[in-house]
Amino acid sequence: MSHNEVLLEIKNLQVSYGAIQAIKGIDLYVNKGEVVTILGANGAGKTTTLRTISGLLKSNDGQIIFDGKDITKIKAHEIVSLGMSHSPEGRRVFGTLSVEENLLMGAYTLKKFDSKTLDWIYQILPRLKERKKQLAGTLSGGEQQMLAIGRAIMSNPKLLILDEPSLGLAPVLVKVIFKAIREISNAGVTVLLVEQNAKAALKLADRGYVLELGKITHEGSSDELLNSEAIQEAYLGKKK
């Protein structure tokens, strides 16, 4: 898979909530087959950016091109059927449905259900297979996060967008989640990841962007960002 074929491109994106401009003209791109991460403090605009890409929020200006098509004004459910899947912050699973029923909900855009995808999800997230008949509301936070990711890849997306997948999870579960994301990427799914855990995100990603108050302040390969003093000080907890 060539790493220089652009799957997602954002040009001069601007998003406001009423009078407050949350995103102040950002440019970013994600090549096919890459894992790209967006880092930043709370309130930097990371979730707003993801929600705008997936059509849940409308931009005031700028352009979003996905797989060669301008999706800036397209509705969220149509964007899903083009091959983009968004696993939002806060693991919104259907608590009164079983694990497997939740996963099947993720396949609603497909013309026909693909049992191979379900088997694959159970392979990379075996905990879900063990719990497939259990009600999703009775799962632990980490298991619910696995389920949210599993549900997002049930539609066989070209691009998987993950918002804070490790938020509030114990370190041992963070490892499981990141291992699963790596396996999803190895299977050819392109991943755009927003993550508070900068170190784990950069170890996984090919490239990263740093968002501060609605603007991109740094971008580069993961190695460049891991070795940048400014990034180390702000996000990796190292002092000069």
The parent domain of residue 123 ranges over 6-235
Q: What is the CATH number of the domain that holds 177?
A: 3.40.50.300
pLDDT recorded at residue 49: 94
Share of the chain above pLDDT 90, in %: 67
The tally of domains found in the chain comes to: 1
The pairing of beta strand 61-66 with beta strand 6-17: antiparallel
Judge whether residue 112 has pLDDT over 90: no
The pairing of beta strand 35-39 with beta strand 84-87: unpaired
- C-alpha 51/C-alpha 44 separation (Å) is 14
Taking the mean position of all CA atoms in its chain, how far away is CA 67?
A: 17
pLDDT recorded at residue 19: 85
Report yes or no on 214 lying in a domain: yes
Which SS3 state, helix, strand or coil, does residue 181 take? helix
- C-alpha 54/C-alpha 158 separation (Å) is 13
Please give the structure tokens belonging to residue 204: 């996984």
pLDDT recorded at residue 168: 87
Report yes or no on 103 lying in a domain: yes
Judge whether residue 134 has pLDDT over 50: yes
- C-alpha 178/C-alpha 155 separation (Å) is 20
Neighbours of 26 (CB within 10 A): 21
Report yes or no on 73 lying in a domain: yes
Report yes or no on 1 lying in a domain: no
Report yes or no on 149 lying in a domain: yes
| pLDDT class of 238 with cuts at 50, 70, 90 | low
The 8-class DSSP code of residue 135 comes to B
Query: Torsion angle, CA of 112/116/117/122, rounded to 10 degrees?
Result: 140
- C-alpha 120/C-alpha 187 separation (Å) is 10
- C-alpha 1/C-alpha 33 separation (Å) is 7
Q: Are 131 and 143 in contact (CB under 8 A)?
A: yes
Report yes or no on 184 lying in a domain: yes
- C-alpha 132/C-alpha 135 separation (Å) is 8
Q: Which amino acid is at 217?
A: T
Higher pLDDT, 208 or 230: 208
CA neighbor of 176 nearest in space, from 186, 167, 166, 168? 166
- C-alpha 182/C-alpha 200 separation (Å) is 11
Judge whether residue 2 has pLDDT over 70: no
